[in-house]
A and B are shown apart, each in its own frame.
Chain A
C-alpha cells in the first residue's frame, strides 16, 4: 500500500542551526514527491516538489530536499533555520488520484 512516514512528530532547534526533517515513502513506481509547510490557522504552502531529473531539489525559503530511491526517502533540509520557519511540515507522495500525506512534523525554533 502507498504510504508516507514522518518519524519525527516534534523537532526543536536553535535559530541558526541546521535542520533535517525525515520522510520515507512506500510507492510502487517513481513517485511525485512534495513538501508543504503550514503556519497555524493557514492553508498549506508548497515548499518544493520532485517529479524527475536532478534528485536534489531546491525550494522556496532556502529549503532543499534530496530524493534517494534506494532508501525511499525525501528528506527536507535547511542549512540555517530562522525563527519564522517555526511551523508544521508535511511530506506527501502523489498517488493515483490523490496525494498521500504524512502525519506532519512540528518545528519549534528557539532564539
Chain B
C-alpha cells in the first residue's frame, strides 16, 4: 500500500545529542513537509521541499536540518541547537494542483523526548 512511513515512532535523546527522524514515501509525490506539534498546539512547519535537492525553511527552522537526496526520502535532523526539541513530529507529502498545494498525506508521527 502507498503511504508515508515515519521512524522511529518513539525516540529518547540526551541533551546535546543530534537525532535524525526518518520519513519515506512511496506515493511518487514531489513535495514533502516536516511539522512540529506541541501539546494543545496546532501544526508548525519546520521545513519543506518541492523537488529533489531543494528545500525551504518553514516557520520554525532554527535548530533543525533536512536533506532531499531522493524523491522518496526527507529525513529531519534535530540538532543540539534546538532548545526545546521534545515534541511530536509529523511528516507529510503532497502533489501540487493547478491552483496551489493539494491534499497532504501524513505519516503516523514520531514522538521525541529529550531526557
Is B64 close to A, CB under 8 A? Answer: no
State the CA gap A99–B109 with chains docked (Å).
Answer: 18
| Contact present for B109 and A90 (CB under 8 Å) | no
- Number of B interface residues in the complex (CB < 8 A): 29
- Number of A interface residues in the complex (CB < 8 A): 26
Q: Which residue of B lies closest to A29 (CB)?
A: B99
| Contact present for B33 and A98 (CB under 8 Å) | yes
User: Which listed residue, A43, A46, A98, touches B48 by the CB 8 Å rule?
Assistant: A98
| Contact present for B99 and A30 (CB under 8 Å) | yes
Q: Classify the secondary structure of A's interface with B.
A: loop
| Contact present for A49 and B103 (CB under 8 Å) | yes
| Contact present for A97 and B101 (CB under 8 Å) | yes
B31 / chain A contacts, CB cutoff of 8 Å: 97
State the CA gap A98–B105 with chains docked (Å).
Answer: 12
Is B27 close to A, CB under 8 A? Answer: no
Hey, what's the 0/1 contact readout for B51-62 against A, CB within 8 Å counting as 1?
A: 000001010000
